[in-house]
Chain A
């Protein structure tokens, strides 16, 4: 089955700096890679996702890159702000038909942005 590894487990940056979180996956059949942000005690919220037919996707300060050959994908946050502080989870799954299948999550990265 799929296994997702995520690094680093904690990341501390100064406000305005960039943050990069990296994930690797094991199942070459996986084709959908979402990223979730989870604030303390709250639900995971989708912030960006990428499918295996593209290599990069950007949404304002957030971007995700995917290297299918190496089976890794990364989240890039530029111009970080204190409100970006949260735990970020990557996930991977096979997407077949209308279902996302099951999401296999990484262990999470606790991002702290210091003012």
Chain B
């Protein structure tokens, strides 16, 4: 079983839709959870960073962590064509090694 599972999509939605991106993980030791956005031919950029369970909101983006079910989500409200990218979830145990476990990424297209 992979440490972090993520449906690669592709996911295609119309502009203005609410997008839900999800990952599951198997290691209960994970404490830190991140979402990265990667545009075509670019490196991943950090979008959201959360610790333990709960919600975190930043503009149109909301990250949600449910440690009881080992489920992490990213919601995008009022999606825009500029949100078209691959979204990667990542988990960290909080050890000293800075070891991130990544999902495969979900490719999102928002069409006008």
Q: Do A and B come from one complex?
A: no
- A contacts, CB < 8 Å to B: none
B residues adjacent to A (C-beta < 8 A): none
